[in-house]
Amino acid sequence: MKSVNINRLPGARKGKEINYKKIKLFAKRGYSNNEIYKAIGIDKKTWLKWTIDPKVKEVLIKIRESLPANKLKGNGRPTEYKPEYCKMMYDYFNIKPYETEKETITFKNGDTITKEVLIPNDLPVISKFAEKIGVHRQTLRNWKKSYSEFEFVYKSCLDLQETILITNGIRGLYNPSYAILVSKNFLNMKDKKDITTNNKTVKAITFITSEQNKIFPNE
């Protein structure tokens, strides 16, 4: 397998050769990615460049899949990735925002009318899908970093999740507080701010032309 020379990557620091031996050592101890680069003594930026190397990815995946669940620290339950998980995950998130039902209303005089009622579907979330296939959600994040096809599906599912949330939020089918909480914490949405005025009241400035001054001499 062809490896990547880290020193040839843009912005790489000279003298920081990939230390495969230490990566393998700390991975076997069950260290998470954050723990590995700190234990080696490099910064996060350098570590991210190291993980571009196919050999590093292969080492991390193989070792973590071989570790017992109680030894793996913060990287999700070790499990074998299967290509069919891509379709399973997309199908799980690709649902209609709501269902429609017919509701009959009877008035005191005996008259009845039938109207259509919208019933919101539960918002699909990453953790629930992970539970469905018997893994931790961190495992899905690891797969996203290691398998390009799964990364594409993962991001597509987040888009589907956002569409469902916005659709049901606009129609008032989700509790407003819940919708805002999910939007900010799961979809990274933020309140729009007025960066022009810095949210301060701005006084209007009126310009009077010479012609207007003739019409409104006292202004």
pLDDT in tens, the chain (219 residues): 444 444 443 433 444 689 898 898 888 887 778 788 888 889 888 888 898 888 988 888 888 777 665 555 555 444 578 899 999 999 999 999 999 888 888 888 888 888 888 888 999 999 999 988 888 888 899 888 888 899 999 999 999 999 999 888 888 888 776 656 565 655 555 655 555 555 555 554 444 444 444 444 444
- Distance CA(192)–CA(171), nearest Å, equals 20
Question: Mapping DSSP to helix (H, G, I), strand (E, B) and coil, where does residue 31 land?
Answer: coil
